[in-house]
Amino acid sequence: MISGQEYLIALGGNLRSEAGVPQQTLRAALAMLEDGGVQLKAVSGFYRTPCFPPGAGPDYVNAAARVGYDGGPQDFLTVLHTVESQFGRERQQRWGRRTLDLDLVAAGQLVLPDEAIHADWRNLPPEKQVESTPDQLIVPHPRLQDRAFVLVPLADVAPDWVHPVLGLSVTEMLEHLPPASRKDVVEL
């Protein structure tokens, strides 16, 4: 067990849950995480982002958090999935509409399961990303560096966190994204 490990998580949703609209769901999920022993160290603002793929549903509300948890990455992922299910999350379609999405973005400077497998997933062509789901935990999230909807809120809570494989900070990864993708992420 890793004591007091710091984690970065991305939060999102675009469907109403029992807690209410997506912003209310994200707030309620953060409270549930905290009640379950997760230490909230910093929470970003909430951002509206276009649904992907375009036309697949309502816009998303996204956020990020820097948290502490007294357990390993796999245990923490289980906590995240448990909270998702409490808000009606059903894993039926990859990148589909959802009430709540809690992604484990990073676990400090850990690279799991190893650098070679991480590289395979990070370099997976876009058409394969839609149909492939890893059967093990991959951290940092293999497409973190490509997603403005993750990096913009993450810059609120961990701008100086450095990707252990790419050697770039959150701020630097964000600067490498096309301006149009950054502009699509609008603070609420």
Which residues participate in catalysis according to the annotation? 89, 98, 101, 103
CA angle 99, 105, 108 (to 5 degrees): 145
Task: In whole angstroms, give the CA distance from residue 65 to residue 51.
Answer: 21
Task: Please tell me the chain's helix, strand, coil percentages from 3-state DSSP, rounded to the nearest 5.
Answer: 35, 20, 40
Provide the token pair at 109. 């400077």
* H-helix or E-strand spanning residue 81: helix 73-86
Task: In whole angstroms, give the CA distance from residue 128 to residue 125.
Answer: 5
* H-helix or E-strand spanning residue 6: strand 5-13
Query: What is the distance, to the nearest Å, from the Cα of residue 11 to the centroid of all Cα atoms in its chain?
Result: 5
